[in-house]
């Protein structure tokens, strides 16, 4: 087939839009005709995930020059290989800076380790970032909030904690710099935490510009945790539209999960 397109440009763009949900089909189109490549990049590289060192090294080999990589088209980035992220990755010429249009950032570190991983290399990842999801076991809470404070457009904050060293968290909280500004935080707050609800809630409640979330999703297991959850609900009361709460209870010998969904309209609970 001739690499030069025979169809009108508008028709090619329309076809690409129709195929955007099928990565395999788009890849085949690129193999058949080179003119498809610039059209499909925004879909092929919309979501990128580095789940291992092998994934990261493959990206670096394929795109040795970050400035000319397709990272510009990425809107959703997932990083699960924190042990292999270095400060150099965040400097000029590093691969992190190339993801300058990312709107959703998922960072995960759930393996057991005595080493506390840093999120500092990602603090300038994308000025357009609106949603941050951190799922962790060995990331200091100060790292999570340090990253959050460097995201001026952040609307959604999702924290999934598989276990927190509360003693180090208390020391961390006392020594952490208190910023004078905070992101908008007008979207969704999600807290799925094995422990550490109090320490997370304290930091959120101390944000200088308050909380303005429209949706709040959380789990709780103890009465003390419920106290802090209600404090967060109260802080967001002017803007909150929906609350989803999950609670694990033990009636007898079984573990039961209870769920509540509350819709708020003009300050009144309707369901």
Could you read off the pLDDT tens digit of each residue along the chain, which spans 271 residues? Answer: 455 556 666 666 666 666 666 666 666 666 566 666 666 777 788 899 999 999 999 999 999 999 889 999 999 999 999 999 999 999 988 999 999 999 999 999 877 766 778 999 999 999 999 999 999 888 888 999 999 999 999 999 999 988 765 555 555 655 555 666 789 999 999 999 877 889 999 999 999 999 999 999 998 777 788 899 999 999 999 999 999 988 866 555 555 667 788 888 644 443 4
Q: Judge whether 72 and 97 are in contact, CB under 8 Å.
A: no
- Of 94, 202, 90, 103, the C-alpha closest to 145 is 202
Is the alpha carbon torsion for 242, 148, 42, 136 positive or negative? negative
Q: Judge whether 242 and 214 are in contact, CB under 8 Å.
A: yes
The Cα 22–Cα 38 span in angstroms is 16
Q: Tell me the pairing of strands 104-109 and 76-79.
A: parallel
The Cα 184–Cα 220 span in angstroms is 25
Q: Which residues, in sequence order, are CB contacts of 11 under 8 Å at separation 6+?
A: none
The Cα 186–Cα 73 span in angstroms is 25
Q: What angle do CA 111, 259, 244 make, to 5 degrees?
A: 80
Q: Judge whether 131 and 156 are in contact, CB under 8 Å.
A: yes
The three-state secondary structure class of 108 is strand
The pLDDT of residue 219 is: 87
The Cα 135–Cα 141 span in angstroms is 11
Q: Which residues, in sequence order, are CB contacts of 16 under 8 Å at separation 6+?
A: 26, 29, 36, 39, 40, 43
The pLDDT of residue 6 is: 64
Q: Tell me the pairing of strands 156-161 and 188-193.
A: parallel
Max CA pair span of the chain: 72
């Amino acid at each position: 087939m001739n690499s030069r397109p025979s169809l009108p440009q508008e028709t090619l763009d329309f076809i690409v839009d129709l195929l955007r949900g099928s990565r395999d089909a788009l890849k085949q189109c690129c193999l058949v005709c080179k003119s498809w490549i610039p059209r499909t990049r925004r879909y092929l590289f919309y979501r990128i995930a580095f789940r291992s060192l092998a994934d990261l090294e493959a990206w670096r080999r394929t795109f040795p020059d970050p400035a000319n990589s397709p990272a510009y088209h990425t809107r959703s980035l997932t990083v699960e290989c924190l042990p292999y992220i270095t400060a150099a990755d965040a400097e000029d010429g590093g691969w992190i800076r190339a993801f300058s249009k990312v709107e959703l950032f998922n960072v995960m570190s759930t393996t057991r380790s005595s080493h506390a991983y840093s999120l500092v290399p990602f603090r300038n990842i994308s000025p357009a970032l609106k949603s941050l999801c951190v799922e962790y076991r060995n990331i200091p809470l100060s790292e999570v909030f340090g990253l959050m404070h460097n995201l001026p457009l952040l609307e959604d904050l999702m924290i999934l904690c598989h276990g927190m060293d509360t003693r180090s968290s208390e020391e961390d909280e006392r020594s952490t710099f208190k910023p004078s500004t905070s992101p908008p935080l007008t979207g969704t707050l999600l807290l799925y935490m094995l422990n550490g609800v109090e320490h997370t809630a304290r930091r959120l409640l101390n944000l200088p510009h308050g909380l303005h979330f429209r949706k709040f999703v959380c789990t709780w297991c103890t009465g003390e945790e419920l106290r802090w959850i209600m404090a967060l609900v109260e802080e967001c009361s002017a803007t909150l539209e929906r609350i989803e709460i999950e609670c694990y209870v033990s009636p007898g010998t079984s573990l039961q999960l209870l769920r509540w969904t509350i819709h708020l309209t003009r300050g009144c609970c309707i369901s």
